[in-house]
Amino acid sequence: MLLAVDIGNTNVTLGVFKEDTLTFVTRFATRRERTKDEYSFELLNMFSLNSIHPAEINGAVISSVVPEITFAVGGAIEIVTGCQPLYVSTKGNTGLTICTDTPDQLGADMLIGSIAAMAKYPLPCLVIDLGTATKLYAVGKEHTFLGCTIAAGVGVSVKALTSVASQLPAFSITAPEKTICTETFSCMQSGTVFGTACMIDGMIDRFEKELGCPFASVVATGGYSIPIVGHCQKEIVMDYNLVLDGLRIYYRNNA
């Protein structure tokens, strides 16, 4: 079995593959102060809850955008499973040409998402990652990473809004019944959900105009994709496990 780990700013996502089949997915909060031993405890609990013996894991791969804990998590995997993880890098066998000013600085999440998009969807493909940050990135026909946009994520924006505006309370990120609302909670929900959906629709148009062609596929992933994407007017495929699939492919090509 392969343990695939995606370390994000908000959550650490873990998936276990048996050959090409994802058997389960679990998440725990990213805590930069945690030690290798504490992450080992998290892993042991995760395996126990899913009825997997650590000895069944014969490979591991990690992508991370949180360098502070990358090797703590990797060390925990070694302790618990005995496997030395493979760490995702732009220098690995990716099959992707990175057409940016600083190719080595491409985030591991976007690198892995691009690898999965190339394998799973028609190109050119636009990937929309609605996580801690809202990222849209384009993968070209010739297996090229063409570039991206990055904006504050939905959760970050909501937290900023409610923390600096004294009279605006916390609220759930769900769509209200209508856009023009008449009480505070639904007004904030409308601006957040419908506003983000409109931004995505508009950015797709801008990407396609600059590229000079329509996307053959548009794919959404990330923790905030579920409450947002269904309210976009564009045709968008939901792929909640895109990055985990990309990790599986990266491991297969580099182990």
**DSSP bridge pairs for 73:** none
Please state the rounded mean pLDDT for residues 246-255: 95
Biggest alpha carbon–alpha carbon distance for the chain: 58
**The three-state (H, E, C) secondary structure of 113-182, written as one string:** HHHHHHHHCCCCEEEEEECCEEEEEEECCCCEEEEEEEEECHHHHHHHHHHHCCCCCCCCCCCCCCCCCC
Q: What is the rounded average pLDDT for all residues in the chain?
A: 94
pTM, two decimals, is 0.92
- Of 109, 129, 239, 245, which is the active-site residue? 109
Q: Per CATH, which fold does 2-87 belong to?
A: Nucleotidyltransferase; domain 5 (3.30.420)
Which one-letter DSSP state was computed for residue 191? Answer: I
Q: Are 86 and 94 within 8 A, CB to CB?
A: no
Tell me: the pLDDT tens digits for 1-33? 999 999 999 889 999 999 899 998 998 889 898
Q: What is the pLDDT of residue 15?
A: 94
Query: Is CATH 3.40.190.10 correct for 97-243?
Result: no
201 catalytic per annotation: no
Tell me: the pLDDT tens digits for 218-247? 999 998 999 999 999 999 999 999 999 999
Report domain extents, the chain.
2-87, 97-243
Domains 2-87 and 97-243 are alike in CATH topology: yes
